[in-house]
Structure 1
Amino acid sequence: MLPHEGDVRNWLSRRLPSAAAVDDVVQEAYCRLAALESVSHIASGRAYFFRSVANIVIEQVRRSKVVHIDSFAEIEELDVMDDAPPPDRIVSGRRDLALVGRLIAGLPERCRRVFELRRVYGLPQRDVAEQLGVSENVVEQQSIRGLKLILKALAEAGAEDIVPSRLTKSSERSGTRSKD
């Protein structure tokens, strides 16, 4: 959190009336962090720090007897600091991943096994060849074949946004002729 304190202070100084108020909010955020039993649930320190500070500011606005109209306008801006992708991108990514998983499962048996070991599990070509009892050349050819078949299926499904266009174009140029 310390590397982000300067950014938090700058952000707060544009929203709070005094440097003392900024100091109080930052100090309160550190106190809340120190009170946590574990920090293992924190995926992004920056996002967590900004969210904590935003929550403290919102609590102060709610508790104050006199509230400036500007405070309400700026409360909407408090959600901007989250580093997590928006929910629609998460859902879209999961859908894309499921589609690619189905395409991999639909590859011919040897091609699928080679592709999974090489591309999904990241095994070296030599290890895949030894494990499957084939030559490294076969592993290379089947891995390329699997990638071409998947790229072709994605293009046909209209899912070009999943894969950069340069990959689908090179796949179209080289064709997908190969045998199992």
Structure 2
Amino acid sequence: MSAANKLARRDIAELYIEHHGWLQSWLRKKLGNAADAANLAHDTFVRLLGKQHDLEIREPRAYLTRIVGGLLNDHWRRQALEQAWLETLAAQPVPLAPSPEERCLIIETLEEIARLLDGLPPRTRDIFLLSQLDGLTYPQIATQLGLTLNIVQKAMTCAVTRCYRALYPAA
């Protein structure tokens, strides 16, 4: 471990000592849940430890808030996915309800799909969702969004290519 990296870890330790309590309290107020607040505060400092460069932080709380912002977005997206999945499960007959392990795998798959879709440009994502979820044809999508058929076809090619690469990364 280099001297600069040791210094960074020492700085992170000081940052932790000085601001962990504040960050956890701030998160508890934001989330209304002490357990989630503790987990996200911990994950914030784990992210800092993963950085490979010396840190110069002028505004520690602003810096920590920025890091935890991304973690909060992931947390809320996961909660929304889980809630949508639980509502879908509630509508299913009991024999079709998956085991806890299957539920975990399904939630992880839904999160991966959400990340994949978040990586698409907004218009491409909208076109893909209209096609795949709403079952609209390319001409219907073009009409609804006021686009040419060619733009819809190119956007779908981009989205499907991205899905293919996610499924078959070595191809």
Coarse TM-score class (shorter-chain normalised): 0.3 to 0.5
Normalised to the residue count of structure 1, the TM-score between the two structures is 0.39
Larger Rg: 1
Normalised to the residue count of structure 2, the TM-score between the two structures is 0.40
Q: Which has the higher helix share?
A: 2
